[in-house]
Chain A
């Protein structure tokens, strides 16, 4: 069994109103921050795949289902 983490965020350079709103709120609360990114985190278990196969499969589902490549980018890594 291999566990893989997938994080989907808005593509660099693309407007992300949610991140902008949260960033503004954090600054108002007194946090000293610069850039902020928001993403959706997935942990997927592949019962019958080794690490290499699982990462390949994760990339496939990340691109086809979990994100819209027009506007999103994905970070994929073994858990």
Chain B
């Protein structure tokens, strides 16, 4: 399975993502925001950072990058896409995932470990960890306070699009939401950074579990 890590101006978790995915056994390559081809990758990885300086809103400018058209097409065809932190914000701004991101409830940047719970969700490439499993994965963001009105929340609950929740609400997110899927379940966005929880030496290796379904397919 080939992975493409997209680099936007201002991405800063791209190298971590590249190394993490390579270490998991994926054949990994770079994709540039100006590219007009996904170079036949199977999984697109939108890393964290501050694309376009977070101007306008986090992720709002990145959605106009040429590569985003390709990513939308890939996702529409059922292709696998993951967006971490700023990558999640880009997926929301591009309309690939629902809702909006607000500034954290306490108006401060939060850099801390978060305890996540895996929620029963749509079956698919991201449904690796067991339902109810607790994952220890760090967060580092200013705008991770997910918002959707009651109608939207009900929709995503009914569609089983919520994949991760914070055990304790850290940033004000509606329904403690930390990670979401699209309707088909092939696109994942999450604020916590699995690539920073890649080894017990760093405090946790739970990030690996997020990709468990895909890595077990690699081995088979």
A binding-site residues for B, Cβ under 8 Å: 10, 14-18, 20-21, 40, 65-66, 68, 70-72
Flag B148-165 by CB within 8 Å of A: 1 or 0 each: 110010000000000000
Q: Who on chain A is nearest to B148 by CB?
A: A70
B104 at the A interface (CB under 8 A)? yes
Q: Who on chain B is nearest to A18 by CB?
A: B103
Secondary structure at the A interface, as helix, strand, loop or mixed, is: mixed
Q: Are A66 and B107 in contact (CB under 8 A)?
A: no
Q: CA separation between A15 and B101, bound complex, in Å?
A: 11
In-complex Cβ contact of B149 among A17, A66, A70, A72 (8 A): A70
Q: Are A18 and B60 CB-contacts (below 8 A) given A10-B102, A70-B99, A70-B149?
A: no
Q: Are A66 and B102 in contact (CB under 8 A)?
A: no
Number of B interface residues at 8 Å Cβ cutoff, please give it: 20
Chain B residues lying within 8 Å of A20, measured Cβ to Cβ, are 107
B147 at the A interface (CB under 8 A)? yes
Q: Are A66 and B56 CB-contacts (below 8 A) given A14-B147, A71-B100, A71-B147?
A: yes
B 55-95 contacts with A by CB, 8 A = 56-57, 60, 92-93
16 sample A-B contacts, Cβ–Cβ < 8 Å, listed by A number: A14-B147, A15-B105, A15-B147, A16-B103, A17-B104, A17-B107, A17-B172, A18-B103, A20-B107, A40-B56, A65-B56, A68-B100, A70-B148, A70-B152, A71-B100, A71-B147
